[in-house]
Structure 1
Amino acid sequence: MRDLQNWLRKHPEVRTIRVAAADLNGQARGKRIPARFADNVIRNGTRFPMSVLNLDIWGEDIEESPLVFEMGDADGILRPTERGFMPMPWLEAPTALLPIWMFRENGRPYEGDPRHALRAVVDRFRARGLTPVVAMELEFFLIDDSGKTLQVPPSPRSGKRRKAAETLSIRALDAFDTFFTDLYDACEAMDIPADTAISETGLGQFEINMMHQDDALRAADDAWLFKLLVKGLARRHGFAASFMAKPYPEYSGNGLHTHFSLVDETGRNVFDNGGTEGTALLMNAIAGCLQGIHDSTLLFAPHANSYDRLVPGAHAPTAICWGYENRTVAIRVPSGSPSARRIEHRVAGGDVNPYLMLAAILGAALTGIEDGLTPPPPVTGNAYASPELTQLPETWDAAIDTFEKSPLIARLFPAELIRNYVLTKRQERHYIAELTPEEQVELYLDTV
């Protein structure tokens, strides 16, 4: 508490704060508060209905949710996370963001809060003397959405639009140098460990990698905050940034790849056997991840547009398989130093809730370790050319039904969160069916 108060004293220019939590879609829900009244939030938290973490993508109540009328739309108490205050560099006025998460009146974590779901998985690892070390790669498009057709923004340097993909192009990065310079400065101010930036295979598409860290909650925080930052900062520069899975039908979509290893209490990577193949624990974790993909697809592909990305030959996996140094599979084991032996989970789109995505990935890996699972042989070559492999659910409907009925999902997540998430997705599916493709793009462009 004292650290939070000291932060505000050191930043007298901050006149307003935002307190915000992630709902099930990863949308920031919260309040604007004058900085002079921040002490009350710091000491006592703030309150809003538990149903607020269970809104649909438009921000509407879930009509069938018992949280709304059946339970009287009761409040939860939201308290600051360990992240503390940070600036919001995408706003014109000096403003601070205070991330919060929800608890019940009796002090217990609210089971429908996605951040608590991830915390519970991390606690299970800790009980086994293991700590996940996590890094994420986030892809996004810079888009000029001012007209009827989406297109890449003109370069602030040349005024020209590059109408082709420019994979790993320095020219593409330099064309938006002012934006990326501001973005890295903002990441430093917010203590987001943004590392390498590259141009990707889509039109105006880029990727920024996060540094590995041994705090999975913080890694998910970083991804959530980074998405808020990129979208807000892009608007300040006069264009949009979007993490939606597939804004352009003819180009590859946005992924959010997750790398992780596990270290024991001595700091040793338990996936490292000194060679390229990895340990038995690595095999257990791979098998767990593979087992979890089918039933967790709704978390990796949470929106109608998500399934446009999961098509063969579009740099996103469609088959549930693994391999060494193979980017056509769902679970890749990268090459490199044995001490850095790790898993890369390649299924999720950029439109995910990072907390739920990471809880599903790590939770599945842990079940593989707990159950001593063994994976099938690794796939070599083009996994898209192997139709005999088990495939991901192809539709949103199938993913919703699978998620709801899965014994594995019931093992990974609280029943309340599962119920809330399924009700949310069913409501969204109903209303999105009424939208044209253009209206769907307009919906997802800024929200996800």
Structure 2
Amino acid sequence: MDWLRDHPQVRTIRVAAADLNGIARGKRVPARFAHKLISDGTRFPFSVMNLDIWGEDIEDSPLVFESGDVDGVLLPTDRGFMPMPWLEAPTALLPIWMFHTDGRPYDGDPRHALAAVVARYKAAGLTPVVATELEFYLIDDSGRTLRVPPSPRSGKRRTGGEILSLRALDAFDRFFSALYDACEEMDIPADTAISEAGPGQFEINLMHQGDALKAADDTWLFKMLVKGLARNHGFAASFMAKPYDQWSGNGMHTHFSVLDAEGRNIFDNGGPDGSDRLRHAVGGCLAALTGSTLIFAPHENSFDRLVPDAHAPTGIGWAYENRTAALRIPASGPVARRIEHRVAGGDVNPYLMIAAILGAALIGIEDRIEPPAPIVGNAYAQGLQQLPTTWDEALDAFAGCPMAKRIFPAELIENFVMTKRQELRYMAELSPEEQTEIYLDTV
């Protein structure tokens, strides 16, 4: 409430939770009723956390008619109120998550799934430190064909990718200046921005932090912010995995390390190879990759990105300082020894993605899973076991994955599988252009 008192110009509030696709679901509430949101929360059906990509109920879901479509209670997270700089009217956003009426966390809420994984680390005296790197395209979608927007400075359009080009960044300087200002207002730790391989493609890194839930919140909020702010500047921003057939897709890489109770990095052994527990965490992540591909590639379009020689991993392997591998150990000082997980696309739900990565790493540490030897050279040419190559293959692998059942609640697995089976069925009826239209803004 202090934030609202300091911002008397705010007249309306949005309360929002992330559904299984990472889409914000919620309500608009007049600011004069904010005290009720803080004390009592709000309510909407459990089924709302389990809608498909079009926002429709899942057919035959027990959350709908079988249960009477009952309500859950949604309470504020510890994030509190924050501005929504992409809206014209001064507006506050209040992130929320879902509980049963008796106070139990709702197992179908992806934020609770991540909280449960973090709690397992805490019980072991450990704290994961997490950072995400988000790639996205700025797109002119006003015509029949997607293309890069004209530069607000020059009016010209880039015709190709310009990796680490200051000129490409400067062409959209007004947008990026507004984006960094908005990140500061929303307490999103946006760090370095670079131009990427595709025309109008950029990447922004979020700083590492020892609160995995906040890292996921920041990533979810950042996606919402970028998409909303881009529209204010006359174009779209999309985290869709592969908006252009001929250009690189959008990834979302996750860096993580783990601290012990004394604040020491358990992956650090003083040398470049890292500790046994780093190796075991790698082993856990590799063992879970097949079964968790659906988390990292949750949509039909996701698999257009996961193809050989396209700057996205396809094989199950790891390496030191090698961006062709699914898991990379970046070069760093020993105290900063960490794992970079490179499989996820930009279209993921960040809560599920981080839960899958950290959960698999913890299983690897607990079970002392030994990975194969690190690869050297081009991972695409190593003859590695491959990730699932189709949506339905990934769906079947997730539904039957023993490691997924150790990471996620049974209800969340069941709901996610039902959601994806329905989307798979209906996406098959759409043309590629229609699929792009739905994915461009939603994911």
TM-score (norm 1): 0.99
Question: Which residue of structure 2 aligns with residue 91 of structure 1?
Answer: 87
Question: Which residue of structure 2 aligns with residue 224 of structure 1?
Answer: 220
Structure 1 CA distance for aligned equivalents of residues 424 and 306 of structure 2: 18
Structure 1 segments (4+ residues) deviating >3 Å: none
1:407 maps to amino acid: P
Is 2:436 the counterpart of 1:441? yes
Question: Which residue of structure 2 aligns with residue 393 of structure 1?
Answer: 388
Question: Which residue of structure 1 aligns with residue 149 of structure 2?
Answer: 153
Question: Which residue of structure 2 aligns with residue 245 of structure 1?
Answer: 241
Question: What secondary structure sits across from 1:67 in the alignment?
Answer: helix
Q: How does 1:8-407 map to 2 (within 5 A)?
A: 8-387=4-383, 389-407=384-402
> RMSD of aligned C-alpha atoms?
0.4
1:244 Cα shift? 0.3
Structure 2 CA distance for aligned equivalents of residues 220 and 40 of structure 1: 26
1:202 Cα shift? 1.1
The number of residues matched between the two structures is 443
1:339 Cα shift? 0.6
1:105 Cα shift? 1.0
Question: What secondary structure sits across from 2:300 in the alignment?
Answer: coil
Structure 1 CA distance for aligned equivalents of residues 332 and 361 of structure 2: 21
Question: Which residue of structure 1 aligns with residue 406 of structure 2?
Answer: 411
Any idea what the Cα deviations from partners look like across 1:271-312, whole Å, max 9, x if unmatched?
011110000010110000101111000000000000000000
Question: What secondary structure sits across from 1:89 in the alignment?
Answer: coil
1:319 Cα shift? 0.2
Structure 2 CA distance for aligned equivalents of residues 209 and 413 of structure 1: 27
Question: What secondary structure sits across from 2:66 in the alignment?
Answer: coil
Question: What secondary structure sits across from 1:32 in the alignment?
Answer: strand
1:239 maps to amino acid: F
2:420 maps to amino acid: K
Is 2:430 the counterpart of 1:432? no
1:386 Cα shift? 1.6
Identity across the alignment (%): 74
1:408 Cα shift? 1.1
TM-score (norm 2): 1.00
Gap regions ≥5 residues in structure 2: none
Structure 2 CA distance for aligned equivalents of residues 386 and 268 of structure 1: 35
Structure 2 CA distance for aligned equivalents of residues 240 and 407 of structure 1: 39
Question: Which residue of structure 2 aligns with residue 420 of structure 1?
Answer: 415
Structure 2 CA distance for aligned equivalents of residues 418 and 263 of structure 1: 29
Structure 1 CA distance for aligned equivalents of residues 368 and 61 of structure 2: 38
1:137 Cα shift? 0.2
